[in-house]
Chain A
Amino acid sequence: MNQAPYISASPSVTSIMLRVLLALVPGIAAYVWVYGSGVLVSLALASITALGSEAILLHFRQRPLMPFLMDGSALLTAWLLALALPPLAPWWLVVVGTLFAIVIAKQLYGGLGYNPFNPAMVGYAVLLISFPAIMTQWPVPLALAHAQLGFLDQLHFIFTQALPGGVTLDAISSATPLDYLKTQLKLQHSVGDILHAPVFGALGGRGFEVVAGAYLLGGLYLLQQRIISWHIPTAFLLTLAVLAAGSHLADPAQHAGAAFHLFSGASMLCAFFIATDPVSGPTTPRGKLLFATGVALLTWLIRSYGGYPDGVAFAVLLMNICVPLIDAATQPRVFGHE
């Protein structure tokens, strides 16, 4: 028998997750347009691994399979991870990362709703630390590449790491814009000079800025659907922009500007899809602002001074650690309390 309230008005968990997946579609489409359809292979690999490993673990934990497989959260983790990885990453990289995300970061903590860390970012950080070379080897956008790989070539490359005759690895891959900037800065070049390199576009990396724009589009859809609140994206983008613009003003030779930071790396993905993960994030409005500000600050610090080209994954994980304290410290005033 039901108990009060007898009525309900809310999208189910599944429909929320599906809408987030839907919001990723423009980003994926842009990805395919810029880098070719190889990313679809990664997405498929990650999805299959995520659902498969989730099913096995649910089975071992004697939990019902269907409601948890259908909730879409595993799929979302898989997609976010696949989109964060280099598009032509070898198949085993995708599988290992997804397995780590689902098994260690999610199911060991009890599955949906219990993971204190963002699973996709755990998977990403593990891969970044374990396989730094592969993780920073990004394909050159199709528009710039000296050699074009078709879908079958990309598929072949993902599974065998073998290239068609006459094409060298250097012809199709290069460092990411963030990585390139970092190495060039170390070589005493100034930002102004570095940004003239062909990998850079108007805003961020050439080609990649389109993907980032598509993520922004998807994020706006999520905001409009009220799936996510404005707090995290706004605070994240604003803080990152202010830090980047401020440092760029102070020392234009050493620091890239706001637009570059916002449209490079995983900034947009993080602002709307990663940092907004409700399970591993804070719940209070002020907590969300604090959390996103922290993520942005750490991201910028790691990008500008740290040892890794992009800091989103670490920044999110570091702030995930602080979430319980942030929540406790930002409890809003309860009705009738001082």
Chain B
Amino acid sequence: MMTALLVMIGLALLLGIVLGYSALKFKVEGDPLVDKIDAILPQTQCGQCGFPGCKPYATAIAHGEADINQCPPGGEPGMRALADLLGVEPKPLNAECGTPKPKSVAVIVENLCIGCTLCIQACPVDAILGAAKQMHTVIASECTGCELCLPPCPVDCISMVPIPEKVDNWKWRYPVIEIKSLAV
């Protein structure tokens, strides 16, 4: 009995030492996964996921505190990319966080704008130009469509305008395979 105990204790001790040493030797600094996740997120910084930006959401996913389906701007493809990266099953988007919308940009109705600068402070990417008491305007190419400027506006002069399909952003459609629609 005594030998058995000793043997097991010895084994455990030995393994403990090896593991302890390797844990020190191979210590992981920082979290490279966060950046990988952040690279997939659309960087709208819209906060629809419930986190105050894309990076915090990425951090939360990396630590298993948030699900991969909370990003409506990233939509289905974004969720799939995350599922792929993390090796988990894809799941439908969480409707509580919002639903994917066609990509839009904010447009300020300029004759209504009172120049309060509230939207400028709300914009996470500094895409709104203007000064106090001056009319503001949105730099369309920089706007991420996060809608964060909508609530602060006291006169509701900002609207989201979907980006129309033009010759230069037009995409080829998925070919329709007719065989499935062919009745017997």
Contacts and interface: CB of A to CB of B under 8 A. Distances in A.
Nearest to A64: B182
11 contacts: A3-B175, A63-B180, A64-B179, A64-B180, A64-B182, A64-B183, A64-B184, A65-B184, A66-B184, A67-B179, A67-B182
A64 B178 CA distance: 11
A123 B37 CA distance: 46
A99 B78 CA distance: 42
Interface in A120-147: none
Contacts of A3: 175
B153 to A, nearest CB: 46
A111 to B, nearest CB: 11
Interface string A54-78: 0000000001111100000000000
Interface string B56-96: 00000000000000000000000000000000000000000
Interface in A164-219: none
Contacts of B183: 64
A114 to B, nearest CB: 14
Interface of B: 175, 179-180, 182-184
Contacts of B180: 63-64
Given A64-B179, A64-B183, A65-B184, 4 more contacts: A64-B180, A66-B184, A67-B179, A67-B182
Query: Which of B180, B182, B183, B184: most chain A CB closer than 10 A?
Result: B184
A294 B183 CA distance: 43
B59 to A, nearest CB: 35
A107 to B, nearest CB: 16
A90 to B, nearest CB: 34
A3 B182 CA distance: 19
Interface in A93-108: none
A26 to B, nearest CB: 34
Contacts of B175: 3
Instruction: Name the 10 nearest CB pairs between A and B, nearest first.
Output: A64-B182, A65-B184, A64-B184, A66-B184, A64-B179, A67-B179, A64-B183, A67-B182, A63-B180, A64-B180
Contacts of A64: 179-180, 182-184
Interface string A73-87: 000000000000000
A65 B180 CA distance: 10
Contacts of A67: 179, 182
A218 to B, nearest CB: 30
Nearest to B183: A64
B175 to A, nearest CB: 8
Contacts of B179: 64, 67
A57 to B, nearest CB: 14
A242 to B, nearest CB: 44
Query: Which of A3, A63, A64: most chain B CB closer than 10 A?
Result: A64
